[in-house]
């Protein structure tokens, strides 16, 4: 095995450990992915719920609020992530004190992901049976109770599917952030593999990202199957 690795993946072996090696890059990618997913998930769920309940047929309709929020979500969804990284640089530095490295990538990752997830949450929750919502209102449940007991409970499988899709998309964004100084496997693939013509580093970086995607997809599918049976 050692002979195989040294023969066919010499640059991977040479760059496996150390401050800028694969081990650190994997840790950085996991850090960026899951920390960003937590914050973007919370913000996205809040925004998605607000979009659902403030529509004309929502449980607390408010046309002006819905229209404003809807336009803002569309606006931030439309900004290419690579441009977002540069545009919000001063804001990122204000929040986390730096604009490069894994921590510096967190703010743009959250801002770039939360609107996307918010729209996914909205689409998941509008599928909740209107009859169940009307029954909850007839029973005298407050809007907060309806949100937690009806919307989030009934829409949980779809929310998990949406969360899985969003997390997978987030992995792609971490790779893009890594290519411009964010660290992680994206940085390994571009700064080390591509720019130094070390194709084995680029290929292994890609394979490791794919493994992470497959693991997250598998966990998401498993959770949905458990809930639906």
Mean pLDDT by 10 residues, the chain (229 residues): 68 82 92 95 96 92 95 92 88 87 91 95 92 90 92 92 94 84 85 84 93 95 86
**Within its chain, how far is the Cα of 21 from the centroid?**
24
Q: What pLDDT does 7 receive?
A: 67
pLDDT at residue 176, as a whole number: 85
Q: Measured between alpha carbons, how far is residue 136 from residues 49, 71, 113, 116, 150 in Å?
A: 17, 30, 32, 29, 8
Q: Which residues have a Cβ under 8 Å from the Cβ of 173 and sit 6 or more positions away?
A: 81, 109, 112, 113
User: Domains in the chain, start-ordered, CATH in brackets?
Assistant: 19-228 (1.10.3720.10)
**Cβ proximity of 11 and 84 under 8 Å:** no
- CB neighbourhood size of 175 (10 A): 22
Per-residue confidence (pLDDT) for residue 13, from 0 to 100: 83
Secondary structure of residue 139 in the 3-state scheme: coil
Contact 201, 188 (CB under 8 A): yes
Q: What angle do helix axes 156-177 and 22-53 make, rounded to 10 degrees?
A: 140
User: What is the predicted pLDDT for the residue at 117?
Assistant: 96
């Amino acid at each position: 095995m050692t002979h195989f690795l040294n023969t066919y993946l010499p640059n991977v072996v040479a760059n496996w450990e150390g401050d800028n090696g694969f081990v650190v890059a994997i840790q950085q990618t996991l850090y960026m992915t899951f920390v960003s997913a937590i914050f973007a998930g919370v913000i996205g769920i809040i925004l998605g719920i607000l979009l659902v309940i403030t529509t004309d047929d929502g449980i607390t309709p408010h046309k002006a609020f819905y229209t404003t929020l809807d336009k803002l979500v569309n606006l931030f969804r439309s900004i290419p992530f690579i441009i977002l990284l540069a545009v919000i640089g001063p804001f990122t530095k204000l929040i986390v004190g730096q604009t490069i490295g894994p921590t510096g990538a967190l703010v743009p990752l959250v801002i770039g992901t939360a609107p996307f997830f918010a729209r996914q949450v909205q689409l998941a929750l509008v599928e909740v049976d209107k009859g169940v919502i009307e029954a909850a209102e007839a029973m005298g449940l407050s809007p907060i109770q309806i949100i937690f007991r009806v919307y989030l409970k009934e829409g949980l499988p779809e929310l998990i599917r949406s969360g899985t899709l969003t997390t997978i998309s987030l992995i792609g964004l971490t790779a893009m952030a890594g290519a411009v100084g964010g660290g992680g496997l994206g940085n390994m693939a571009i700064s080390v593999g591509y720019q130094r013509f070390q194709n084995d580093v680029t290929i292994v970086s890609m394979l490791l990202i794919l493994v992470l995607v497959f693991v997250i997809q598998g966990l998401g599918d498993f959770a949905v199957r458990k809930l639906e049976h």
